[in-house]
Amino acid sequence: MTTIAPYRAPQRAGRDGFWQLVHAEWTKFRTVRGWLVAVVLAVVLIDVLGLFLVDVGTNQCNGPCVPAVPTGPGGEAVLDSFYFVHQSLSADGSLTVRVTSLTGKYQPQGGPIGPHTTRGLTRFVVPWAKAGIIIDQSTKQGSAYAAMMVTGQHGVRMQYNYTGDIAGLPGRVSPSSPRWLRLTRSGDTITGYDSADGSHWTKVGTVRLAGLPAAVQAGLFATSPVYFQGNFPSYAQSGGGTSPSTATGVFDHVSLRGGPATGTWSGQFTGANARLDSMPGVGFQHADGRFTITGTGDIAPIVGGGANVNFVTGTIADHLVAVIFGLVVLVVIGAMFVTAEYRRGMMRVTLAASPRRGRVLAAKSVVIGLVCFVLGLPAAAIAVIVGAMISRNHGVYVLPVSWLTELQVIVGIAALLAVAGVLAVAVGTILRRSVLAVATVIAVFVLPYILGDTSVVAPDVSEWMFRVTPIAAFAVQQSVPAYPQVMGQYGPPEYFALPPWAGLLVLCGYAAVALTVACSLLRTRDA
Amino acid sequence: MSRTAVVTGRCAPLPRAAARAWLDALRAEWTKVRTVPETGWLVAATAALTIAVSTTVIAVTRCAPGTGCTADTTRLSLIGVEAGQAVVAILAVLAITSEYSTGLIRTTFTAMPRRFGMLGAKAAVLTGLVLPAAIISVAGCLLAGREILPGRGFTAARGFPLLSLAHGATLRAAAGSVLYLALIGLLALGVATIVRDSAAATGIVLGLLYLAPIVAALVASPVWQRRIDRYGPTSAGLTIQDTTGGHLPIGPWGGLAVLALWAAAALLAGGLLLRFRDA
């Protein structure tokens, strides 16, 4: 009796590891020519539309109209324009004053800023008008400083190095309720105090100005930023109704202790900004120990949208606005990557070859995610780097950012595309029908984008769209921070309600939920 | 059925017979649409999505006291149409591409060789489905606006009277929005007839509807911006919803006419392709 050996194929059994599955899915993707063309088209669309069609504004002027913009100690672009009455202080010491009044004027109609501004000035203290005392590394623009000041509507503040802001005594200053301010210097450490009566002092804050030289400038200042009127029009528009303004501070009980004080105060408008220093009344008067100083400008970071300066500014992300178009094409392909298998019955073969269904979904997600990321990365890099060059050629001042921020924007956009692609794969798996899946993924990304347009809906609706819907991930585009102490046009596509990582996390959350649902449906449903 | 035709050798049917054939076509199309489950879902989804989006947007919009609100409350209430049009487009795309994906289209043409007539019947049945859905959607949106807006600061005292169809501009916006949705359906049907593939047709139609306005907002040239706003199907068609008479790129009825031209062009191109192409 002979036993018949069962047939064994001469080939070794194929391995069914995860990477074999990914390879299989990649082969399926790669061999559909229409999809390859479409994904390449998607990223080309991002760059072509973004670089050549987008309006980033132009500085209309002959010759160089953007002044040499200084940068602060933190590397950010700053506005450093104020009227400064100062003395040299070359040792440790302190400066104390009493501020009895802060008044101001602004030009209501916005109009051209320049030699005609003497007409139609209205008395009004803008919310962030500032008058107070300052210890400045030098009178050079962008130098390190620490200052104590009274403001139009935000009480006493200690501000330092352009971005730092600490609140002191609340309330407005007036002759009946004056404010006493003091700055003490010890080496490179400066401490600010405020007081309502000159005898009871409260410490507001202590800051260390690294590398402060022995001889610094200490003195009194006044400045007043441009004022915004009304609501702003839709995003992607710079400007709006901005008005130049001036602020006048009245100081007495000025005492400067320590150092070889020369005893004479000299006044100058620091920060030569040709259009701002032509405001009328800028200067100072000194009589009987009483200083009256009128200044204009601001000591603050420059914010996006050209909001607080009189030239057009931009950010490195300005040319990324066409990402939504590439995104739409990529999510359509992502959804079809699954639904096409259902339509042709290919899904049954796929699941027969790899019965562990969750891994099929994972492999598909990996393939689409990688394709989107790898193609998105150079597209975003070109849009950011070449886009900034094009903006500069238009005379637009592109706000400087660190290379880390630049990397965050580029990698963030690529990650946004990748996660969106994965979400589309999950939606395709859930819905199975091409039409429904394609329509859903388009609506999921484009509808919030349209409903987020502030020209149609109120700004708070727009803000919620960028907070809770998948387009929250566009927050990765934000390259410059928003400052509560600087009035600005804070809104998409430059400023977002969520920080970049949180925005991306919202999209990841949607993708995770969709993947979980898709996985359980794929497991429990017939193919 | 064509016994007389055989006997007399005449090919051209009598006018009455033609009308009857078209009625038969209409009934055939209605039977096809009626007997798939998704039709009912999509019609219901049109109304549900439109009203839901409008209600949500109205509920989060606020006219804060002391600020000058410049909202067009009618247009704000009807904003859900922007979402509802996507469902209408899907309904229209499926009406023809599902026949192509299953091969039913060959049976259809065998039974009904007059291809223009078939497309006309499809368009008529589709419009018959979209119109009631659109009427319910628009009525729901306006009702939501009427109920919610006064509580959000849009009171008559501040220049925002209750939404009412007695107001001529609001009536025009409401009726126009219904027509708008019907025309979007016809446009989508035309594009789907041209493209034949369901996924591609959906992508193209929704791209046309949603991305054109975004392109208009981005392009540098104001001339082109205006052109896209004037002649884009969505931006032109939705001017019918305006009741403030602000800076419109094109007059309300003119805008709807632009959309009608888009729909007619798409249907004509689709019909011609049907006529000259193999199924």
Tell me: the pLDDT tens digits for A273-284? 545 546 777 888
Peptide bond into A493 cis (omega under 30): yes
Q: In chain A, whose CA is at the least distance from the CA of B203?
A: A438
pLDDT of residue A240: 46
The more confident residue out of A471 and A279 is A471
Q: Domain for residue B36, yes or no?
A: yes
pLDDT of residue A274: 42
- A460 touches B at CB < 8 Å: yes
Q: Which of A55, A236, A434 sits opposite B199 (nearest CB)?
A: A434
Q: Domain for residue B49, yes or no?
A: yes
Q: Which of A206-215, B45-54, B155-164 has the lowest mean pLDDT?
A: B155-164
Instruction: Find residue A145's DSSP bridge partners.
Output: A136
Pairwise CB contact (< 8 Å): B57 & A453: no
Domain of B243 in residue numbering reads as: 20-276
Pairwise CB contact (< 8 Å): A55 & B57: no
Q: Are residues A323 and A455 in the same domain?
A: yes
Looking at the predicted structure, is the pLDDT value of residue A142 above 80? Answer: yes
Average pLDDT over residues A148-154: 93
pLDDT of residue A154: 93
The more confident residue out of A52 and B82 is B82
DSSP calls for A267-298: EEEES--TTTTTSTT-EEEEETTEEEEEE-S-
Question: What interface predicted TM-score (ipTM) does this complex get?
Answer: 0.75
Q: Are residues A110 and A165 in the same domain?
A: yes
Q: Domain for residue A394, yes or no?
A: yes
Q: How many folded domains does chain B comprise? A: 1
Please list every residue in chain A whose beta carbon sits closer than 8 Å to the beta carbon of residue B202.
434-435, 438-439, 442
Q: In chain B, whose CA is at the least distance from the CA of A332?
A: B203
Q: Which of B76, B210, B221 sits opposite A446 (nearest CB)?
A: B210
Neighbours of B68 (CB within 10 A): 10
Please list every residue in chain B whose beta carbon sits closer than 8 Å to the beta carbon of residue A336.
199
Please list every residue in chain A whose beta carbon sits closer than 8 Å to the beta carbon of residue B218.
49, 53-55, 236, 321-322
- B97 touches A at CB < 8 Å: yes
Q: Are residues A357 and A499 in the same domain?
A: yes
DSSP state of A74: T
pLDDT of residue A260: 62
Q: Domain for residue A170, yes or no?
A: yes
pLDDT of residue B113: 86
- B89 touches A at CB < 8 Å: yes
Q: Between chain A and chain B, how many beta carbons pairs sit less than 8 Å apart? A: 103
User: Testing the interface with A: which of B79, B94, B206 to mutate, by most A Cβ within 10 A?
Assistant: B206
Q: Which of A242-246, A454-458, B80-84, B232-236 has the lowest mean pLDDT?
A: A454-458
CB contact burial A208-244 (16+ within 10 A = b; e otherwise): ebeebeeebbbbbbbbbbbbbeeebeebbebebbbbb
Q: Are residues A223 and A97 in the same domain?
A: yes
Q: In which band, very low, low, confident or very high, does the pLDDT at A235 lie, cut at 50, 70 and 90?
A: very low
**Min Cα separation A348/chain B (Å):** 18
Domain of A163 in residue numbering reads as: 78-301
**Min Cα separation A165/chain B (Å):** 28
The more confident residue out of A273 and B37 is B37
Pairwise CB contact (< 8 Å): A450 & B210: yes
Q: Which of A269, A301, A333 is the last residue of a domain?
A: A301
The more confident residue out of A350 and B153 is A350
Q: Are residues A368 and A296 in the same domain?
A: no
Tell me: the pLDDT tens digits for A48-72? 988 887 766 666 655 556 667 888 8
Q: Are residues A297 and A326 in the same domain?
A: no
Looking at the predicted structure, is the pLDDT value of residue A233 above 50? Answer: no
Q: How many folded domains does chain A comprise? A: 2
Average pLDDT over residues B135-141: 96
Q: Are residues A37 and A112 in the same domain?
A: no
Across all residues in chain A, what is the average pLDDT?
A: 85
Closest CA to A447 of B200, B179, B86: B86
**Min Cα separation B80/chain A (Å):** 10
Give the integer Cα–Cα distance in Å for A27 and A181: 72
pLDDT of residue B154: 84
Tell me: the pLDDT tens digits for A354-384? 889 999 999 999 999 999 999 999 999 999 9
Q: Which of B57, B220, B221 sits opposite A451 (nearest CB)?
A: B57
Q: Domain for residue B27, yes or no?
A: yes
Q: Are residues A322 and A242 in the same domain?
A: no
Please list every residue in chain A whose beta carbon sits closer than 8 Å to the beta carbon of residue B90.
435-436, 439
Beta strand A397-398 with A313-314 is parallel
Q: Are residues A251 and A374 in the same domain?
A: no
DSSP state of A62: S
Q: Domain for residue A64, yes or no?
A: no
Q: Domain for residue B7, yes or no?
A: no
Q: Are residues A426 and A277 in the same domain?
A: no
Q: Domain for residue A61, yes or no?
A: no
Torsion angle of the four alpha carbons B229, B234, B239, B240, in this order, in degrees rounded to the nearest 10: 150
In chain A, the percentage of residues whose pLDDT exceeds 90 is 48
Residues shown for chain A: 527
Give the integer Cα–Cα distance in Å for A74 and A144: 9
- B46 touches A at CB < 8 Å: no
Q: In which band, very low, low, confident or very high, does the pLDDT at B248 lie, cut at 50, 70 and 90?
A: confident
Q: In which band, very low, low, confident or very high, does the pLDDT at A248 lie, cut at 50, 70 and 90?
A: very high
The more confident residue out of A11 and A454 is A11
Neighbours of A137 (CB within 10 A): 20
Q: Are residues A105 and A250 in the same domain?
A: yes
Q: Domain for residue A11, yes or no?
A: no
- A483 touches B at CB < 8 Å: no
Q: Which of A14-18, A223-227, A336-340 has the highest mean pLDDT?
A: A336-340
Q: Are residues A246 and A380 in the same domain?
A: no
Across all residues in chain B, what is the average pLDDT?
A: 86
- B206 touches A at CB < 8 Å: yes
